Structure 1
Amino acid sequence: ISAAVPLEVDDEPCVVLMSSTGLLARTADQQFEQVGDTARANHDVIISAVPATNRGSIGLVTSTGTVIRLSVVDLPALPAVDGIPALSAGAPIGAFVDLPLGESALCLTTLDETSGIALATANGVVKRVLSDIPANKDSWEIIRLDEGDQVVGAIGLDEATAETSELVFVTSDGQLLRFAASAVRPQGRAAGGMAGVRLTPGARVTSFTALTPAASSVVVTIAGSADALPGTDAGSIKITPLSEYPAKGRGTGGVRCHKFRSGEDTLVLAWAGIGPARAATASGVPADLPTVLGKRDGTGSPGTTPISGLGGQL
């Protein structure tokens, strides 16, 4: 008797997506049209997207510097859409991986011979790792962390892309540092990385990414109070073209990127990438961002709702 529905999924190309709320899904779409805030939906802030095949594997990078292998076919399949998909029909990361308390998922990565990852820690360490994937393991570490440190940002970055990419750090005291990714030589999985950004006492890295600078590259910074409970302070928000910030050398302190208002003493969230940027609350509900660009080292505009997720175009 023939089955009404094929029991085996064809190994076709797809893209695996992860939302700011920790939902995972795959889509057959290979290209995503740039869209603004005109058509928003819940869970549409995508913080990571990687090419894959339906029956292949990808990696999930966590804050402990661990890569966890995931089977793509287990992920929900989304229908094709115009623009950026919303992941309301996705599945939570917890359905596939049981992360210990305090460990969080940061990004997705490909698992092939050209794979690479750039990552940074809260204490300002940076590292690039090229393809070194154990064939017989479901998880493996990609950095040796100092006691008390953790990975706060990671992104897929292969050797070819690194030649034209920059690394961008944003720190909790309102500094931004950008420099060529080629300034960080690749290391093996067991290495501990190298100096990325110089931090002032008490500061930490809030945001880290790698990107190829473009005219539409922007930086979003959200300031608030370190004493406020997470998710309760709307803070002040600023969007500034990345080009406003001059590049500095690896291991330096960067330049001022956000001036604090009265009652603010920290950047609670930051993001750099291809605009238009988009934001969401902790539950995935779309949130408004300023429509007017801010000065390089100016203050932000008062927010209307606490934001916990930032993203841009794919």
Structure 2
Amino acid sequence: GKGVTGMTTREEDFVEDLFITNTHAYMLFFTDKGKVYSVRVFEIPEGSRISKGKAIVNIIQMSPNEKITAAISIKSFEEEKESFLLMCTKQGLVKKTALEEYTDIRKSGIIGIKLNPGDTLIDVKHTDGKSEVVIATRKGMAIRFKETDIRPMGRATHGVRGIRLAKDDEVIGMEAVNSKDILLTATENGFGKRTEISKYRLQARGGKGVKNIKTTERNGLVVGIKKANPGDELMLITIRGMTIRLAVDDILVKGRNVQGVRLVRLEEQDKLSGVAHIVKEENENNNKE
């Protein structure tokens, strides 16, 4: 199907990600410059499905040259103080820092990770410190390694090498996984595939990885990866603001280095810009009982 409009976008704007949380949680917003800002969810204005929303700059004091690249929902810093924030940059660096180092964030934000010249922060995950990590690149490579390969570091520090990139390649996504998970990879032309994590051999951090998906003319380059286990639902997002809700059970599990299948039929000149995981709400689950 072609989906429905997930929100109305302004000129030169596009929908990049979707998040489902609750009003009592904290949202940590990370920017491409490596800074992090904190806000309570109830401070974010509620809107309808197709409303334009409110600019983040009106909610947090971010600089005009910053762009939100990741957001994390924290239910309680006290309850989750033993957890970690795992970060990944476009140039393939990763960093793991204890969540408790981010409890006191001033309105103007604080440094979440120090970046090398030309690098940007592209993804952040909230973990228990014992997961496995999968990093995927735009040209179809991916690496899987243990999170314990990354030693905990302070907040205002650089990361360590997560994946060694080929020339002109860059990281487009990271997932914290376990060996039983299934990974969905989506490409810009609306194609993708699901592959068991076990098909990606466990390697040491910092290697070149293995081929994840064929980036042919039909597929285009990779735009995102997400865990896609049985019963999960994902939202595909295009640069024109279109969305389609996708039951992952409808997508056959394939091998690793394949072309995949069509996930969504795109209109002319439209491209996929990302993929988001949908968390089922409690009342939705209760209605099924």
TM-score in same-fold range (> 0.5): yes
Report if aligned partners of 1:274, 1:313 keep a CA contact under 8 Å in 2: no
- TM-score, scaled to structure 1: 0.68
Match of 2:204 in 1: 249
1:87-111: per-residue Cα shift (whole Å, max 9, x none)?
Answer: 6579445242355245223122437
Distance 1:101 1:291 in 2: 39
3-state SS in 1 of match to 2:136: strand
Whether 1:179 aligns to 2:145 is yes
Shift of 1:209: 2.3
1:209-263: per-residue Cα shift (whole Å, max 9, x none)?
Answer: 2234435x222231x5xxxxxxxxx253223232322221100111111113246
1:163-201: per-residue Cα shift (whole Å, max 9, x none)?
Answer: 2x1111001221111111111111011210111111111
Whether 1:285 aligns to 2:243 is yes
Shift of 1:140: 0.4
Match of 1:152 in 2: 122
The verdict on how the C-alpha distance between 1:50 and 1:63 changes in structure 2, with shifts beyond 3 A counting, is farther
The verdict on how the C-alpha distance between 1:266 and 1:42 changes in structure 2, with shifts beyond 3 A counting, is closer
Whether 1:106 aligns to 2:70 is yes
Match of 1:162 in 2: 129
Match of 1:209 in 2: 175
Report if aligned partners of 1:127, 1:194 keep a CA contact under 8 Å in 2: yes
The verdict on how the C-alpha distance between 1:263 and 1:291 changes in structure 2, with shifts beyond 3 A counting, is closer
Whether 1:270 aligns to 2:232 is no
* Bigger relative contact order (CA 8 A; separation at least 6): 2
Query: Unaligned regions of 5+ residues in structure 1, if any?
Result: 1-36, 79-85, 225-233
Report if aligned partners of 1:122, 1:206 keep a CA contact under 8 Å in 2: yes
Structure 2 counterpart of 1:300, which letter? G
Report if aligned partners of 1:219, 1:242 keep a CA contact under 8 Å in 2: no
Report if aligned partners of 2:22, 2:41 keep a CA contact under 8 Å in 1: no
Structure with higher Rg: it is: 1
Task: Percent identity, please.
Answer: 20
The verdict on how the C-alpha distance between 1:74 and 1:262 changes in structure 2, with shifts beyond 3 A counting, is closer
Aligned length: 252
3-state SS in 2 of match to 1:285: strand
Distance 1:135 1:120 in 2: 22
Distance 1:304 1:120 in 2: 31
Match of 2:35 in 1: 66
- TM-score, scaled to structure 2: 0.73
3-state SS in 2 of match to 1:312: strand
Distance 1:154 1:273 in 2: 15
Whether 1:301 aligns to 2:261 is yes
Shift of 1:301: 3.0
Shift of 1:112: 2.1
Query: Unaligned regions of 5+ residues in structure 2, if any?
Result: 8-15, 280-289
The verdict on how the C-alpha distance between 1:136 and 1:256 changes in structure 2, with shifts beyond 3 A counting, is closer
Match of 2:282 in 1: none
Structure 2 counterpart of 1:121, which letter? T
The verdict on how the C-alpha distance between 1:134 and 1:272 changes in structure 2, with shifts beyond 3 A counting, is closer
